[in-house]
Amino acid sequence: MRATQFLNEYQDPAQAKQEILSTVGSYDPNDEAQAKLIDRVYSIVQKSGVVDRFLPVVNSKLQGEYNDAAIKTIAEKIVASDRLNIQQKNDFLDLLQANKCVNTNTFLTDGHYSISQIFNGPLVEQMFLEFMDFGAGQQRAGKGEHALAILSTDISQKGTGDIDVNGTPVELKVASSAKVGAGSGRMGEGGVSKERVLAVLNKFPEFEQPLGGYFNTPGSRGTPPKTMNLKMFVDMCNKIEFGQGRRKAVGDAIFGQVFDKMAGPIVQAFDNPNANADAVLDAYIAANFDWYKANPDMGGSWQIMCSLAIGAASMITCSSGKSLNQLRKSGALYSGIPSLIPSQAPEVFFQPNPTRK
């Protein structure tokens, strides 16, 4: 459809509302309560500037087409939603109109938050779920990003894959599964393949026997393991007698291929004959976060990371690797350990999965 044609068709808002009616067939325009709801939904969505918070900058000739189509779609979803009855939708619209749906401080302050601390009541929670997948994949937007932009005038999504909360760029990871403990995104893209890791380790003859024994010995399920997590790797290395400088060389090679120059703190924690596996894990997760944050190609330029888990009904917010480790040690995160020898390359990165609060 040509932009000018679309604009001409939508010069009269009443026509747009009539199209909403025809789409949402269960609503009776002769019912006063339903008619008022439709009118109110359309008016609030149209006037709140919601579209401008997530649409990319487009050619001025197309702007009207983008805006009108998005307004109509959003209004239809609110009107048609079977999550709330008419009175509940009006109560939700009260919050939306007053910009009281989202507690934006939870996206800006390090901590572990329940879903009720993020959203102002179950009505808002239900409408967030209604819009969870809205716009996902378009302009690199992830799940939940457009939903937040719809619910709060203080949150925008400008097409880079990040949300902006009161002027602060935030990296948002969402585990949309209803299963508790379901994984959100990992802190990194790409990763290092199992073949590359083994190629590095094969340069050190000290690993020939322990690696051969590990990958050829059946585990509890009767089959040999295919991966090795970070703590297992440290424990294996603690049983190997390395010559002078050899252990540091291993650390530089194995951790450096993942985090480049930011691997130093991990190597330092690793480089002693009986390294503490927990200390190495702390250093690894902190370096992973800081490396991820410092790399603008990994999800855009951001200052704070949030991981929201629908199944656990909670979210963690952190601004540094140190903060992330503090949250993990407090029980705010499931204890997932990155695979140093992975089955798939991204498994070398930590996955921040919030626990229920």
Higher-confidence residue of 158 and 134: namely: 134
State which of 101-105, 137-141, 240-244 shows the largest mean pLDDT. 101-105
Q: How many CB atoms lie within 10 A of CB 220?
A: 6
- What are the pLDDT digits (tens) for 127-138? 999 999 887 655
**Rounded Cα–Cα distance for residues 42 and 49 (Å):** 12
Lowest mean pLDDT among 67-76, 162-171, 251-260, 292-301: 67-76
Is residue 102 within a helix (H) or strand (E), and if so which, with residue range?
Answer: none
Q: What is the pTM of this model?
A: 0.85
Cα gap 236→1, rounded to integer Å: 64
Token pair of 276 as six digits: 């503490």
| Maximum mean pLDDT: which of 25-29, 177-181, 277-281 | 277-281
Please report, for the chain, the start and end positions of each structural domain, with discontinuous segments joined by +. 3-166, 194-294
pLDDT score, position 5: 35
pLDDT tens for 56-65 read 544 444 454 4
- Cα separation, 194 vs 28, in Å, equals 60
Return mean pLDDT, the chain: 85
pLDDT tens-digit map of 220-240:
777 889 999 999 999 999 999
Picking from 146, 144, 141, the residue whose alpha carbon sits closest to that of residue 50 is: 146
φ, ψ dihedrals at 157, nearest 5°: -130, 110
